Amino acid sequence: MSFKVLLLDNVDPVCAEIFERRGIQTDQPENVTLDELKRIIGNYEAVVVRSATTVDAELLQHSNGLKIIGRAGVGVDNIDISAATTKGVLVMNTPDGNTISTAEHTCGLIIALARNIPQSVERVKSGGWDRKKFMGTEVHGKILGIVGLGKIGSEVALRMKEFGMDVYAYDPFTTQDHAGRLGVQLVELDELLGLSDFLTVHTPLTEKTRDLVSLKNVSKLKKGIRLVNCARGGIFNEQDLVPLIEQGIVGGVALDVYSEEPPAPELYEALKHPAIICTPHLGASTEEAQEKVAVQIANQIADALENKNYKGSLNSKSISLLTNSEVQPYVELAEKLGLVSGQIMPKNANNFSFEYTGICTKYSDVLTDAILKGMLSQYVDESVNLINARHYATERGFRLSETNKSDDKNYNDLITIRLGDSSDYKQISAAVFGPGDYRIIEIDGFGIELRLEGDILMYQNIDRPGMLAAVAGKLASQNINIGALSLGRTAKGSNAITAVIVDKKLNNEELQSIYNLDGVHNVKYISLS
């Protein structure tokens, strides 16, 4: 059977060469309009895009012949994976091709910030000199802070250590062993902000990472800190950057990514500040990177079309699960349970045990993938899915144990996660109660029935009269409404666990007010919204 592939977004010519060698026909039209794309996309078995083309549900309605969407690069924000999965279309990316290029670009921006290279180049080209104005600083002996010690962050660490920098990092999912091999010291986030002469971020944009640096947290920042962002726009509050510089808090900023690309007019104004250097999302824009991802995606698509291999697929398991109604709810349960575990587990933990009973034993492999997807989703700077979750877990040094049991004394079909003896909450079990109804049923031997939804405040307390009233009163005083609650205890007068579903996301100040209550400890906030 002959296949046809549509190449868009000026993907490197080597992509077409690889397809041709493998007997696959390609078309690479230029300047295709959306209407034209809707008209022709159904004629192809596969399409390759970079970041310019958006493959959404509307476009997919016109793609009845399409089998594969290939992203020549890492990010798949421009591809509606859910819509593609529903239509039975594989989505592939090339997560490793851009690592070195992005790491090198980050290092280049660090040096450029330290030595005022772009500003001084512009001055000389305009006929000036002003050597004293562009006095810089050495990076040797300075502290580099890295938020996110995945592939790119690790490569940055290795390179900047060779420049003589002392490297510290925050990544709750990187093990001490991994950091030790890199010569990096792991610290808490607030400590990192206060230590760092230079700070670079390599993490996804989530509610936890949005506005990581802003006017609101100036007290945490080392005076004169220089900021670098080659990850996701919005991690630094872009509107606050100029005030932070003019107040003397931030010594300089280097940006390669923006919350809106190209930037909005008001941001363009801010970017004119002489202490800000900026590039147009060039992290992956090297000849080598573009050639690597083009070669990789061509071979991956050719293998898939020939039913040889599905490496790089982001949704192949999801597609197979769409037709299996038996396993679907347990996959959703596992992912939610993983998301909870990721928010209550100790920092830098690496030993986890997953136990399955009843029907879950039939699907333990994919359920482990789903748990890991949930655990890692807020911390990995790529799209985590059922296909690559184990890869990222292994990369971070996770050690996993999986056990199947025939049954449980109270529940037939159960998933249990053990987070280790150092965790405030060591073991958590959950079950499916009905369509869309997923509940935690036990935590550390405490029987508790908690729906896995919304925003959850969980804490341990001394089992005595008035404890719930004290917490409820403190929440009420901050205009926080309780939507539901669940209590668990082992015996009268012993410790108890309480979980409260609240009607809003909680900030650190609101959480601290609960922690300050007498008799309350191990306070955790879990967001599933």
Domain positions in the chain are 4-95+288-312, 99-278, 321-527
- Please indicate whether residue 430 or residue 420 has the higher confidence score (pLDDT): 430
Of 58, 260, 261, 266, the active-site residue reads: 261
**9 contacts 37 by C-beta, under 8 angstroms:** no
Give the number of other CB atoms < 10 A from CB of residue 516.
10
Rounded mean pLDDT of the chain? 91
Angle, CA of 334, 338 and 344, to the nearest 5°: 145
d(CA 436, CA 331): 11
Q: Which residues pair with 69 in a beta bridge?
A: 47, 91
**18 contacts 302 by C-beta, under 8 angstroms:** yes
In this structure, the chain runs to a length of 529
Distinct helix (H) and strand (E) counts, the chain:
18, 22
Known active-site residue 396: no
Closest CA to 133 of 144, 123, 143, 146: 123
The single-letter code of the amino acid at 172 is: P
Q: Which residues pair with 278 in a beta bridge?
A: 255
- Label residue 34 by pLDDT band (50, 70, 90): very high
Of 210, 281, 390, 489, the active-site residue reads: 281
Cα Rg of the chain, angstroms: 25
For 59-101, the pLDDT digits (tens) are 999 998 899 999 998 878 899 998 898 888 999 999 888 899 9
Kindly report the backbone phi and psi dihedral angles of residue 412, in degrees, each rounded to the nearest multiple of 5, phi listed first: -75, -40
Residue range 99-278, CATH number: 3.40.50.720
Q: Which fold, 321-527?
A: 60s Ribosomal Protein L30; Chain: A; (3.30.1330)
For 224-258, the pLDDT digits (tens) are 999 999 999 999 999 999 999 999 999 999 999 99
CATH homologous superfamily, domain 4-95+288-312: NAD(P)-binding Rossmann-like Domain (3.40.50.720)
Known active-site residue 261: yes
**270 contacts 276 by C-beta, under 8 angstroms:** yes
For 313-368, the pLDDT digits (tens) are 888 877 777 668 888 899 999 999 999 999 998 888 888 999 999 999 989 989 99
How does DSSP assign 321-344, residue by residue? HHT-TTTHHHHHHHHHHHHHHHHH
d(CA 2, CA 153): 42
Q: Mean pLDDT over residues 32-44, rounded?
A: 95
How does DSSP assign 339-381, residue by residue? HHHHHHSPTT--EEEEEEEGGGGGGHHHHHHHHHHHHHTTT-S
- Let me know if the fold of 4-95+288-312 is the same as that of 321-527: no
Of 178, 232, 396, 418, the active-site residue reads: 232
Known active-site residue 273: no
